Amino acid sequence: MPAASNQFASLADFADKAGDLAATRHHLHAHPELSFEEHETARYVAERLESFGYEVARNVGGLGVVGRLSQGEGGRSIAIRADMDALPIAEATGLPYASTAPGKMHACGHDGHTTMLLGAAEYLARTRRFTGTVNLVFQPAEEAGKVSGAQAMIADGLFERFPCDAIFGLHNHPGAPAGSFLMRAGPLMAAADTVTITVTGRGGHASRPHLTIDPIVTAANLVMTLQTVVSRNVSPLETAVVTVGTIHGGTATNVIPESAELTLSVRSFSREVRETLERRIRAIAASVAEAHGARVEVDYEKGYPVVINAEPETAFATEVVTELVGAENVAVCPLIPGSEDFSYFLEHKPGCFLRLGNGEDSAILHSSKYDFNDKSLTAGAAMWARLAERFLAA
Ligand code: NI
C-alpha cells in the first residue's frame, strides 16, 4: 500500500488557495443575511457547487443547500455541514470588507465555515480521490434559537434524501491558535432550556393577607427551593446550571397581586441530567405552589440539545487532524456552555463536531469586533477534504 500521507489532502495542497478562500470569505462577510433570510448566500453556494460539478438540491428545509458528489463504486457516504447565517449586530470592526447590511454581521464566523466547506468541495470535485458519496450540507438558521435550520432540514427528509453513515461539522474557537483543532468525545456543548413559571394566587389588600393567596411569597419560596435542584439532585461529578434570571410581580406596596412570574435559564451536558432538571423543576413548582394554595403553570421551552460526539467518529476525526496539523496543534476541547443546533444531526447520525482555533487574540463570538481568522481557512478546507477522502478511502 502506498504511504497514507501521499494519498490524502494536505495543507500544502491548499497553500495556493489561501487568497481565493479569503476572497470568498470577504464576499460572504460583506453580505451577511439573518436566519431564514439567507437567499443570496444560498444562491451563491448552490451556484459555486454546480460550477464544481456537484448535483445540487436547493430549498432543503427552507434555504438549505445540499451538494452531492459520487465517485467510484464505494457504498459509503459522508455528510459535512456548514452553517450560513449571520446575526443582528452592528459591525464595529472597521474592516475593508465589513458588512454592507446595516445592523447585520457575520459575528459568529459562519462566513468562514461556509468558505472552508466550499474550498473542500472544489478540491474533492477536482481530484476525486475517494470512492463513495460526499454530501455537503449548507444549513441556514443556526442562530434561530428554535425551529432552527438543522431541525428544518431533518424534517424535510435530509437523511432519507441524502443518506450518510456519519456527519461532521465544526465551529471556530476564539482563544485557541489559528489553524489548531480542539477535540472532545462525548458531550461537548450544553443544552440550553428556558423556563417560565407563572404563580397565580388571589390578590387583595396588603393589610388583609389572610384573605389572599400571596404569589410573591410563593415565588420567593420557589426561588430558594429551586437552588436544591443542582446541589441535591445532580451528581457532584456532573455539571448543570439553574439560574432564575427574572422575577416579576406586584405594582404597589399596599396591594397583594394576583400573580408573579419567574424565568429560568437551565443548562446541562447530558440527556439524563437534562431530564432530571426538568422533572425536578416541574415537581418543585407544583409542590411549592400547592403548599401555599396557589396555582402554577410551567412553560418549559426546550432549546438546542446537548452536542454529543460519538466516540469512533471523534477518534477518526482526531486522527485526521493530527495527521494534517501535527499533534502539537491538536488539544482537548473543554466543555462549552454555549449551545449549537448541530446537536440535532447527532441525534440521528453518529458524528463529530470539531472546534477550529480562531487565534489567541480573537474577539469573542457574537461581539461587534469579531472577525473569522483568514489564517484558519486553509487548515479547515484541507481538513474537510482529507476527512472525506479518509472516510471514503478505497
Ligand atoms: Ni456560530
For residue range 309-332, what is the model confidence (pLDDT) as tens digits? 999 999 999 999 999 999 999 999
Query: Distance, CA 30 to ligand 1 centroid (Å)?
Result: 17
Question: How much distance in Å is there from the Cα of 171 to the middle of ligand 1?
Answer: 6
Residues 128, 25, 35, 83: what is their CA dihedral angle, to the nearest 10 degrees? 30
pLDDT at 4 (0 to 100): 45
Banded pLDDT at 6 (limits 50, 70, 90): low
* Domain-embedded: residue 289: yes
* pLDDT for res 67: 98
What are the pLDDT digits (tens) for 156-191? 999 999 999 999 999 999 999 999 999 999 999 999
Distance between alpha carbon 50 and the CA centroid of its chain, in Å? 27
Q: Which of 72-76, 171-175, 276-280, 358-362 has the lowest mean pLDDT?
A: 72-76
Domain boundary pick from 301, 321, 346 = 301
State in Å: Cα 169 to ligand 1 middle. 11
Residue 2 belongs to a domain = no
Q: How many domains does the chain have?
A: 2
In a domain, 383, yes or no: yes
Last residue of a domain, one of 301, 326, 349: 301
- 219 shares a domain with 128: no
In a domain, 342, yes or no: yes
Residue 2: pLDDT band (50, 70, 90) is very low
50 and 35 fall within a common domain? yes
CATH number at residue 241: 3.30.70.360
Same domain, 281 and 342: no
Give 209 Cα–ligand 1 centroid separation in angstroms. 50
Averaged pLDDT for residues 252-269: 97
- Residue 315, in any domain of the structure: yes
d(CA 377, CA 356): 10
Instruction: Please state, in angstroms and rounded to a whole number, the distance separating the CA atoms of residues 343 and 144.
Output: 14
**Pair (241, 339) in one structural domain:** no
Would you call 83 a catalytic residue per the annotation? Answer: no
DSSP state of 89: -
> Is the domain of 176 the same as that of 221?
no
Alpha helices (H) in 53-129, listed in sequence order: 110-127
Q: Please give the residue range of the domain that contains residue 268.
A: 191-301
* φ, ψ (nearest 5 deg) of residue 80: -130, 130
Model confidence at 122: pLDDT above 60:
yes
Per-residue burial over 248-282, b if 16 or more Cβ lie within 10 Å, else e, is: ebbeeeeebbbbbbbbbebbbbbeebbebbbebbe
**Is the domain of 27 the same as that of 106?**
yes
Domain match, 16 and 116 both:
yes
Cell digits for 49? 457547487
Q: Is there a domain that residue 29 lies in?
A: yes
Buried/exposed code over 353-383 (b: 16+ C-beta within 10 A; e: otherwise):
bbbbbbbeebbebebeebbbbbebbbbbbbb
Task: Please report whether residue 117 resides in a domain.
Answer: yes
The rounded Å distance from CA 9 to ligand 1 centre is: 26
Q: Are residues 146 and 22 in the same domain?
A: yes
Give the Å distance between the CA of 84 and the centre of ligand 1: 9
- Torsion from C-alpha of 340, 345, 349, 352, nearest 10 degrees: -30
Gap from CA of 19 to ligand 1 centroid (Å): 24
Torsions phi, psi of 367, nearest 5? -95, 150
pLDDT in tens, 128-167: 999 999 999 999 999 998 789 999 999 999 999 999 999 9
C-alpha count within 13 angstroms, C-beta hemisphere, residue 345: 34
pLDDT at 145: 81
Domain shared by 33 and 147, yes or no:
yes
Structural domain ending residue among the three candidates 268, 301, 334: 301
91 CA to centre of ligand 1 in angstroms = 16
Distance 173 CA to ligand 1 centre (A): 10
Q: Which tens digit of pLDDT belongs to each residue from 216-245?
A: 999 999 999 999 999 999 999 999 999 999
Taking the centre of ligand 1 as the mean of its atom positions, its distance from the CA of residue 108, in whole angstroms, is 4
d(CA 143, ligand 1 centre) in Å: 7
**Judging by beta carbons within 10 Å of its beta carbon (0-12, 13-18, 19+), is residue 111 exposed, middle or buried?**
buried
Q: Are residues 272 and 382 in the same domain?
A: no
The pLDDT confidence band at residue 7, using thresholds 50, 70 and 90, is: confident
Verdict on whether the full-model pTM lies above 0.75: yes
Spacing, Cα 255 to ligand 1 middle (Å): 46
Give the closest residue to 327 by CA, choosing from 337, 318, 316, 338: 318
Question: What are 195's strand-pairing partners?
Answer: 264, 300
Give domain status of residue 3, yes or no.
no
pLDDT at 211: 97
Give φ, ψ of 300 to 5 degrees: -100, 100
Q: Which of 33, 37, 83, 85 is catalytic?
A: 85
Paired with 241 in beta bridges are 267
Distance between Cα 341 and ligand 1 center (Å): 9
Helix (H, G, I), strand (E, B) or coil at 180: coil
Count the alpha carbons within 13 Å of 328 in the hemisphere toward its beta carbon. 0
Shared domain for 128 and 159, answered yes or no, is yes
Establish whether 360 is a catalytic residue: no
Q: What is the DSSP string of 209-253?
A: GGGSB-HHHHHHHHHHHHHHIIIIIS-TTS-EEEEEEEEEE-S-T
Q: Are residues 27 and 73 in the same domain?
A: yes
| Average pLDDT taken over every residue of the chain | 96
Residue in 142, 313, 340, 389 annotated catalytic: 142
Reference 280, options 294, 259, 266, 295; nearest CA is 266
User: What pLDDT, in 10s, does the model give residues 290-312?
Assistant: 999 999 999 999 999 999 999 99
CATH code: domain of residue 50: 3.40.630.10
Rounded (5°) CA angle 271-274-278: 140
pLDDT tens profile 336-376? 988 999 999 999 999 999 999 999 999 999 999 999 999 99
Residues making up the chain, counted from first to last = 394
Q: Which set of grid coordinates corresponds to residue 299?
A: 412553560
